[in-house]
A and B are shown apart, each in its own frame.
Chain A
């Protein structure tokens, strides 16, 4: 004998304690008259009881009691390790930057200086300037017009 289809979901809700008051009264009235639905209702209750977890064992209660302290200490340990790694990574980066400054940049500066010391480059730079011979001429003119104190005294 099958249960009434329109009551099936209500019987599941009843077994799960999900029925509102009005529905509960209606279902209980129906169960008093319908043996098939009463058997089905009992079967649903049994199924939900069977799949419910048993009470926590002593071992599980102990495990639960230590959960907060253990989790907090694991978090602290992980954070310390993470900070250490971050510190180490920062140290490696700083060392790499320092090595770059010490070894690579002076070499480049020397190369630049060397390039500037090349006479051809200097000549080109001077030629390209607005007064390529200005300073030389001024210097030589000044030198020639200035009295030579040593000579004057002697005359």
Chain B
């Protein structure tokens, strides 16, 4: 039942790239390398919400999210600068795809480290006392949120990456495929598996009435 269709207008909003009349990411990188500091700021502003929302999936503190986002931009620009120096004047770099790839890797590493730290008894105690609920609804809501968050991070790597880019970054499957270096169909398959698995993991804990 596959068919050609317009971009989805359902629950998920797609994030579009820069309009054609604006300078591309490569031009902004080149301008910054030539000494135009405003170009770097523009490059960050163009992608910061996207990057920040992906990072939020893997972090629990706003400061951590900002630091990881910052590191991702710095790494992506360093990579772009190296590539542009190597390619010379006419080269093009897929800055956005590299940036998203870096964000996912940094986020994954951060989540792994955070889980490791949370095994320490003192940290666990701090977390438990700091999160005391003020009402039963708050407790249930935060518990559901925690379960959902944990379930996403438990997904196999490919499924988690596709789900994060689709749900958090709201990218189209074509761009997800480009970022992850897989086919669009493969990205969709990962997404379907991820949703089915999440339904098994957290389906029981969801409330009966619609959210």
Contact = CB atoms under 8 A, between A and B. Distances in A.
A57 interface: yes
A71 B37 CA distance: 12
Interface of B: 1, 3-6, 8-12, 37, 40-41, 44-45, 48-49, 52-53, 56-57, 62-63, 65-66, 69-70, 73-74, 77, 144-145, 148-149, 151-152, 163, 166-168, 173, 191-192, 195-196, 198-199, 202-203, 206-207, 210-211
A77 B43 CA distance: 18
Main secondary structure of the interface of A (DSSP, over half): helix
Contacts of A43: 199, 203, 206
B8 A19 contact: yes
A44 B199 contact: yes
Given A12-B196, A20-B3, A64 B74 contact: no
Contacts, number: 133
A22 B199 contact: no
B133 to A, nearest CB: 16
Given A18-B8, A20-B5, A64-B52, 10 more contacts: A18-B12, A22-B3, A42-B210, A45-B11, A53-B57, A59-B62, A68-B41, A70-B66, A72-B44, A75-B77
A98 interface: no
A51 B9 CA distance: 19
